Structure 1
Amino acid sequence: MGAKWTNADIPDQTGRTVVITGATSGIGLITARELAGAGARVVLAVRDPAKGRAVAATLPGRTEVRELDVSRLRSVREFAEAWRGRIDVLVNNAGIMQVPEARTEDGFELQTATNFLGPFALTTLLLPHVTDRVVTVSSQLHRISRIDLTDLAWASRKYDDLRTYADSKLAVLLFTLELQRRLAEAGSPVRSLAAHPGIATTNLVAHRGRSATPFSFLLNDPEHGALPTLFAATQDVPGGSYVGPDGVGGVKGHPKIGTPSRRARDPRLARELWDVASRLTTADTATRAPQSGK
């Protein structure tokens, strides 16, 4: 493998099943395209099945579309309950960023539900089917989070769209690393990994306006933004790895394994978050994944 890893380095994925959430645009779409092109059976788990089918028709290889809205626990449970067979790779890609304050049907703040609580419930419910790895997309903005586990759903604090996003992405990393600890302690071969795209020019922040446009040359394009996810999904890297761009500040470049913040690596905080998320999702998720000793 060369010093600068690209999608040309993806190994043959024939015979593997990959589930990708939020696969109709941006990094999720590119991840689906590349893995399907490498031979994988790719399941596009998407909120809008009609849009998913239109996208799938443009992709190479074997694809399938299933409805999933990760912001709705009912949808998450229905997807998990309907699943049959193995999943080699689960990619928790779906996410939103700095949206206006809104609540889900479960009463959660929308970014928290979409970026963390939904993926948490989905992963732990699907874990008995996963044979190889779970890859969850985080963000370097997790470094500014001061997460409050007593108000994870932002029910009592004044809403701050950036802080909420950062909290959700720190929660993702805490969960990813705690899941890896539990899997390792149980002797499972399944790996839990995180990836981040740096700052990529996708439609994730399109609603924020044109302010970043003059500086787009400093950012990753979507093709490069998808590389860390593809690297984490296909390369033989240790569980618990945090893959992102190799450029200054992890903003752009080619994939490399980096180090998340000290707070993201706090096992006590991660265990506490797991317990809070299990209670909030009310899905008995804590019994679906191997338990760590305390």
Structure 2
Amino acid sequence: MTEHITTPFDVESTAAQVVAGIDLTGRRAVVTGGASGIGVETARALASTGAEVTLAVRDTSAGQRVADEIGGNVRVAAVDLADRASVAAFVAGWDGPLHMLINNAGVMATPETRTPEGWELQFATNHLGHFALTTGLHRFLAAEGARVVSVSSAAHLMSPVVFDDIHFVERPYDPWAAYGQSKTANVLLAVEATKRWAADGITVNAVMPGGIRTNLQRHVGREAMDAMIAQAVEDGFRLKTPEQGAATSVLVATSPLLEGVGGRYFEDCAEALPNDGNMVSGVAAYALDPAAATRLWEVTEKTLAG
């Protein structure tokens, strides 16, 4: 049994607080979805350490506005995670070492939508695109050993990866089940990548940012979202500011306390405990299952090669 990891930070800590005193001058980071929500605050905190930060975004105009507002050494590059060619172009355009990759972008509870390949959009964006990006950048991450952060969600508790019908071909489409399995996939990526890339000094961890009102919720009606949040708060969920929501990602990407730690799931700036049946906290056993992680990696490679 590995030791449960805690840090001096907690549910109320902000991204700025967790990087206070950390100098990452000369280090390079990529933040997907860095033009909105917690991505902005993640990028801001990383830039404050002296790191060079690239915002990997669909809307480069929005990305440039964020880069100008943050200041420092912040760059912008285009990537659409649901488009294989776009991800490949980003990878082809990267040069030199990469020390931190924050797989932060995502879509949530979208109406049933498929990519040209027929892939369900949430799985394609949240998992397949980030898998292609992460594996494509592997040689740069391995240059000096690096940290990858896979931004998951408590919504992973809604569904394991349903390997028999990942893309809702046979079963009725459910936007939350689709989102949930894509977030479970984010955790399984951390488990398997850490195992496969340990010799390269690369560690990959998954994080749950917390409940934050962002543009991520644009596909959910306001009334429905308000009702969900009210129920979650009643169940013990705590809403966070974007600055607090970015804290766990930034902690896992930068803290000396987590050197060499990989394959785990963090929430509120600490390693999560096993889920006890609630729907707002903890990590499901199926999300950390090594056999499922290996299977997902192999299925994903085959999918992307098709």
| TM-score interval, normalised by the smaller of the two chains | 0.7 to 0.9
- 8 Å CA contact 2:33–2:106 kept in 1: the answer is yes
The answer to which of 2-11 and 123-132 deviates more is 2-11
Of residues 190, 193, 198 in structure 2, which corresponds to 1:176?
190
User: Equivalents in 2 of 1:127, 1:261: separation in Å?
Assistant: 27
Q: Give 2:3's aligned residue.
A: none
1:204 aligns with 2:216: yes
1:83 aligns with 2:94: yes
**Relative contact order higher in (CA < 8 Å, ≥ 6 apart):** 2
- How big is the shift at 1:199? 1.6
SS where residue 19 of structure 1 aligns?
A: strand
Percent identity between the two aligned chains: 39
SS where residue 87 of structure 1 aligns?
A: coil
- How big is the shift at 1:147? 2.3
SS where residue 57 of structure 1 aligns?
A: helix
1:8 aligns with 2:17: yes
Q: Give 1:57's aligned residue.
A: 68
SS where residue 147 of structure 1 aligns?
A: coil
1:132-168: CA deviation from partner (whole Å, max 9, x where unpaired):
1111100111122132212222233211000000000
- How big is the shift at 1:213? 4.5
What does 1:58-73 align with in structure 2 at a 5 Å threshold?
A: 58-73=69-84
User: Equivalents in 1 of 2:267, 2:8: separation in Å?
Assistant: 17
User: Equivalents in 1 of 2:190, 2:8: separation in Å?
Assistant: 28
Where structure 2 has 5 or more consecutive residues not aligned to the other structure, the ranges are: 1-6, 274-282
User: Equivalents in 1 of 2:296, 2:111: separation in Å?
Assistant: 25
User: Equivalents in 2 of 1:133, 1:3: separation in Å?
Assistant: 19
Of residues 270, 291, 296 in structure 2, which corresponds to 1:268?
291
Q: How many equivalent residue pairs?
A: 272
Q: Give 1:35's aligned residue.
A: 46
Where structure 1 has 5 or more consecutive residues not aligned to the other structure, the ranges are: 246-254, 284-294
The answer to which of 229-238 and 86-95 deviates more is 229-238
Of residues 271, 287, 300 in structure 2, which corresponds to 1:257?
271
User: Equivalents in 1 of 2:88, 2:247: separation in Å?
Assistant: 30
- 8 Å CA contact 1:142–1:169 kept in 2: the answer is yes
Of residues 122, 125, 128 in structure 2, which corresponds to 1:114?
125
User: Equivalents in 2 of 1:55, 1:208: separation in Å?
Assistant: 25
Relative distance call for 1:3 and 1:50 in structure 2 (3 A) is closer
1:80-138: CA deviation from partner (whole Å, max 9, x where unpaired):
12211011001100001101111113321110111101001110111110131111100
Q: Give 2:176's aligned residue.
A: 162
User: Equivalents in 2 of 1:9, 1:44: separation in Å?
Assistant: 20
SS where residue 264 of structure 1 aligns?
A: helix
Q: CA RMSD in A?
A: 1.8
Q: Give 1:243's aligned residue.
A: 266
SS where residue 58 of structure 1 aligns?
A: helix
SS where residue 32 of structure 1 aligns?
A: helix
1:9-54: CA deviation from partner (whole Å, max 9, x where unpaired):
3112211100010110001111011111221100011111122112
Of residues 72, 94, 101 in structure 1, which corresponds to 2:105?
94
